[in-house]
Amino acid sequence: MKTAVIVFPGSNCDRDMAVALEKVTGRAPAMVWHRETALPDGIDFIALPGGFSYGDYLRSGAMAARSPILRAVADAAGRGVPVLGVCNGFQVLTEAQLLPGALMRNAGLNFVCRTVPLKVENSQSLFTAAYRAGEIIDIPVAHHDGNYFADAATLDRIEGEGRVAFRYAQPVNGSARDIAGVLNDAGNVLGMMPHPERAIDRAHGGTDGLRLFEAALGVLA
Amino acid sequence: MKVNVYVTLKPGVLDPQGKAIHHALEGLGFGGVADVRAGRFIELDVADDVSDADLDAMCARLLANTVIENYRIERA
């Protein structure tokens, strides 16, 4: 089980993500700088961490989505390699058009930083198979641009296809239909605003995020 | 030559920043403002032979996010 964390200038959750991946796999991930044009050989799982890549210039995630390593990430995603984007990582995945929709400024305009209840909408994906459908889990959020937007036809389509992985159990940021996490059509790319890597140890105040990593990484083990 | 690019939110996309600006204008005592929508203005300095197709591709691939935004290109 070889994992990789993509590191952009301005990433700030890359080390937290590395701790989570090492905790579950027993092996430290490769930390891959954004200027690289290829991933290390044999990578089984890719994480795009939270943070403020390129200072959120232009739009959150916009510059990172056009960085050299993203071509390699898109190629790997196309081959079926699981890709998890958290927070800024989710913004990067939408900007790279690996996931539908866009993440806009929070409806309340404030940065939201607290633990929120999430409803598991799809418990069949490789990321969510260790949860029960409808289960409420507590995961921290910390973002300014988490207001998920897509046009009504896209929302209907992704809901109909079971691609809404998580929904906020109460409104957090104005997201369309309270969507907190979205899967790609093949189910191997997940973007979510909440931070599962911040809920993997009792010292974090909760461990509800751990099962996401155990499912996603265990499936491949 | 200078090229002006105007990036605006698509109609129907909620604009919380525009709303906040609207409230602030009202707070300053300016009445009669029905709505505010905020966008982005980008000024490019390009070679004269850069094609319209290239300018359009710049907008579509980076300067605007066409999921939520429209853009307009103006050769100055």
Q: List chain B residues with CB under 8 Å of A95.
A: 65
Catalytic residue among A13, A87, A95, A121: A87
Residue of chain A whose Cα is closest to the Cα of B17: A109
Our measurement of the distance from residue A130's CA atom to the centroid of its chain's CA atoms, rounded to an integer in Å, reads 17
User: Average pLDDT in the A96-122 region?
Assistant: 96
Alpha-carbon span B62 to B44, nearest angstrom: 13
The pLDDT tens digits of the residues spanning A115-158 come to 999 999 999 999 999 999 999 999 999 999 999 999 999 999 99
A147 touches chain B (CB under 8 A): yes
| Confidence category of residue A219, pLDDT binned at 50, 70, 90 | low
Long-range contacts of range A70-77, CB-CB < 8 Å, 24 or more positions apart?
A70/A96, A71/A37, A72/A36, A72/A37, A72/A38, A72/A39, A73/A6, A73/A39, A73/A46, A73/A48, A73/A98, A74/A98, A76/A39, A76/A43, A76/A46, A77/A46, A77/A184, A77/A188, A77/A189
How do residues A194-216 score in pLDDT, each as one tens digit? Answer: 999 999 999 999 999 999 999 99
User: What pLDDT, on a 0 to 100 scale, did the predictor assign at position A45?
Assistant: 97
Q: Which residues of B touch A150 (CB under 8 A)?
A: 67
pLDDT of residue A139: 98
Contact A198, A140 (CB under 8 A): yes
* Bridging pattern class, strands A30-33 and A3-7: parallel
Q: What is the pLDDT of residue A67?
A: 95
- Per-residue pLDDT at A220 exceeds 70: no
Instruction: Give, for A18, the enclosing helix (H) or strand (E).
Output: helix A14-25
Distance from CA of B14 to the nearest CA of A (A): 8
- Partnered with residue B70 across adjacent β-strands are B8
Residue A36 has pLDDT above 60, yes or no: yes
Give the mean pLDDT of chain A.
96
Instruction: Tell me if A105 and B68 make a contact (CB, 8 A cut-off).
Output: no
Contacts of B29 (CB under 8 A, 6+ apart): none
Hey, what are A138's tokens? 């507590």
Any B CB within 8 A of A12 CB: no
Give yes or no for a contact between A209 and A197, defined as CB atoms under 8 angstroms apart: yes
The pLDDT value given to residue A60:
96
**Across A106-120, average pLDDT:** 95
Q: Where are the beta strands (DSSP E) in A54-111?
A: 83-86, 102-104
* Nearest-angstrom CA–CA distance, A36 and A6: 10
Q: Is the pLDDT of residue A99 over 80?
A: yes
Please identify which residue in the block is written with the tokens 């979205």: A182
Residue A173 has pLDDT above 80, yes or no: yes
Between CA A134 and CA A202 the distance in angstroms is 23
Query: Over the stretch B43-76, which tens digit does the pLDDT of each residue have?
Result: 999 999 999 999 999 999 999 999 999 999 999 8
- A60 close contact with B: CB closer than 8 A: no
How many angstroms from the chain centroid is the CA of residue A3?
15
ipTM over 0.90: no
Angle at B26 (CA atoms; ends B21, B28), nearest 5 degrees = 95
Average of pLDDT values for A186-193? 98
Residue of B nearest to A150 (CA): B67
Does residue A195 have an active-site annotation? yes
Question: pTM for this structure?
Answer: 0.94
Residue type at position A207 = T
